[in-house]
Amino acid sequence: MIDERVASAIAHWKPRFTANGVSPSDFERITGELERWEDWCAAWSEAAGVHEALGREALAAGRTRSAGAHLAQAAVYFHFAKFVFVDDLDQMKRAHLRAVRCLNDALLHLDPPGERHEIPFEAAALVGVLRRPAPNGSFPAVILIPGLDSAKEELRPTEALFLERGMATFSVDGPGQGEAEYDLPIRADWEVPGAAIVEHLASLPGIDPDRIGVWGVSLGGYYAPRVVSGVERIRACIALAGPYNFGEVWEGLPLLTRNTFRVRSGTDDEESARRKALTLSLEGRTEHISVPLLVVMGKLDRLIPYEQAERVAGEVGANAELLLLEDGNHGCANVAYKHRYKSADWMAEHLDA
């Protein structure tokens, strides 16, 4: 009989996987053979290894465009091997390091290419990937913030939409995310790391420091408006499927999600994690959001009730626009076509792209 955690992962996240780079046939094949959660990371890592091998072969043969595509896809598969696999941290980290290595090796060969940046922050580093639409020019830029269990390796399809519209992208692992999760726990006051990220991005050649936006998904949909509430340089913000208060939705979260938050927040037990989650709140912060805010939410979201998004938009008021999709799940990944293009167009308009 299939493990309840495997069933939960498939039920909650299948559309997300396939919307962010996983082949539907690969998804069906890998998960169709899985019965135990203990085998999740190994199964996805094995599939990732096939894509990595194709990338290494293409790289050795000088077929760099194909190499970039294969290695970037391998990075996504390795990422999904580790994304909530916190029961075996050593195995999780091995998969994660392979995801990072594959993306690093792919960056030069993407179109447009990417650059790895490390931002010193509190005796650690926030690692981001910068991609510009063209080699020359001064471009508006969008900071892409992942959620609780996502990371920069997962964001390439979203990057593409902004890049196509003349905006640079900076996908970054913040505290508790990706490469930063081992040194920096999840924190509520994202205006602090956000300020460091914005300052770094604004200093880079080819980036217009007066045209910077921020986009965030899931818990990143909380982080993004939290950044805007304390960093004046941001011109526009998109919050996709983010909570108003993460602790308020705690009881409705899948066990995999609660366990992941416990580990990445540095708390010892579920009750401590719940108390930490309650600190991730926009209460008292929405009044400081004075730039355009697009809030995107699905009414069928089983992780974050849509009323949380309505509260964010309602408190921000005239500066906020709410896109509430009747058939959208968490992150609206099952109806990506109903919000991704509109979101990219909205950001391009507000950044004068």
Contacts of residues 287-290 at CB distance under 8 Å and 24 or more positions apart, as own/partner, are 287/315, 288/228, 288/229, 288/230, 289/225, 289/228, 289/229, 289/237, 289/316, 289/319, 289/320, 290/319
Q: CA 222, 227, 229 angle in degrees (round to 5)? A: 95
Distance, CA of 237 to CA of 285 (rounded, Å): 14
Q: From the CA atom positions of the chain, what is the Rg in Å?
A: 19
Residue 2: the pLDDT is 82
Residues 6 or more apart whose CB falls under 8 angstroms from that of 281 comprise 188, 244, 245, 246, 247
- DSSP letter for 352, please: T
Distance, CA of 120 to CA of 50 (rounded, Å): 34
Burial 31-40 (b: 16+ CB within 10 A, else e): beebeebeeb
Residue 297: the pLDDT is 98
Task: Sketch out the chain's domains with CATH numbers.
Answer: 1-111 (1.20.1440.110), 114-353 (3.40.50.1820)
| Strand-pair category, 234-240 with 207-217 | parallel
Residue 51: the pLDDT is 98
| pTM assigned to the model | 0.97
Residue 124: the pLDDT is 96
Residue 46: the pLDDT is 98
Mean pLDDT by 10 residues, the chain (353 residues): 89 95 96 95 98 98 98 98 97 98 98 98 97 96 98 98 98 98 98 98 98 98 98 97 98 96 97 98 98 98 97 98 98 98 98 95
Q: CA 49, 53, 56 angle in degrees (round to 5)? A: 135
DSSP bridge partners of 131: 114, 169
